[in-house]
């Protein structure tokens, strides 16, 4: 009898592990969809890529040595635009 109980408990645990793996897969898919939808709401997505390109070029060429933060910021904007 105890052996049957142990076997039953192991099967129940295995079944739960399978269900959890499936739920984690569904969670990841939903999370990816949510991130994509949030990115689509970004105002930068609505700007034409030509305008973003011009802003990037003006920012890089006109920055001088004064603001080292502008290039990573512009790169981030550029990446958001190219990913969507």
* Interhelix angle 70-83/49-62, nearest 10 degrees: 160
Judge contact between 9 and 54, C-beta under 8 A. no
Name the DSSP letter for residue 78.
H
Domain locations in the chain?
1-41, 43-84
Among 70, 7, 15, 77, smallest CA distance to 49 is for: 77
C-alpha to C-alpha distance for 32 and 24, rounded to whole angstroms: 12
Query: Does the pLDDT at position 21 exceed 70?
Result: yes
pTM: 0.51
pLDDT digits (tens, 9 = 90+) for 25-53: 999 999 999 988 887 787 777 778 788 77
Q: What is the pLDDT of residue 50?
A: 84
CA-atom Rg of the chain in angstroms = 25
């Amino acid at each position: 009898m105890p052996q049957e109980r142990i076997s039953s408990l192991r099967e129940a645990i295995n079944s739960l592990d399978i269900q959890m793996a499936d739920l984690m897969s569904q969670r990841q898919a939903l999370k990816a969809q949510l991130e994509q939808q949030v990115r689509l709401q970004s105002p930068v997505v609505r700007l034409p890529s030509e305008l973003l390109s011009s802003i990037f070029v003006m920012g890089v060429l006109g920055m001088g040595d004064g603001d080292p933060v502008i290039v990573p910021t512009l790169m981030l904007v550029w990446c958001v635009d190219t990913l969507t």
